Amino acid sequence: MDTIGEKIRIQRVVKKYSQEYMAFALEISQAAYSKIERGETKLKLDRIYEIAEVLEISPFKLMPPSKYDGAINFQGIYAQYFKIKRFIITKVLRRKYLVAVDDVDQSDISNN
């Protein structure tokens, strides 16, 4: 997985911008900008937005994915499915079966 710095570098190269241009646009030194791309500088959200603006991209392209982003917790889904299934079998269907048995007239059973 690419780090934020790697993502920035890739986008910069795609746009054919130099590190000097990026540094000038961000009003920082080229050395400081280089540290951003190497991941030696922790970026605050406002700086990520500034870099994205210079690169003319969405800042979300640079940020790491959220732990909830596009991930489906199948184990959780299956666990809930089996809990619901168990509930239906043990509570609902048994109750219906017991009611149905009670509703049947004993004389109907003996006549058949």
So where are the chain's domains?
Answer: 4-61, 74-111
Is pTM beyond 0.95 here? no
Handedness of CA 51, 54, 55, 61 (dihedral sign): positive
Q: pLDDT tens digits, the chain, 112 residues: what are they?
A: 588 999 999 999 999 999 999 999 999 999 999 999 999 999 999 999 999 999 999 998 998 776 665 566 667 777 777 788 777 777 766 666 665 555 555 545 555 4
- Judge contact between 48 and 39, C-beta under 8 A: no
User: What number does CATH give the domain 4-61?
Assistant: 1.10.260.40
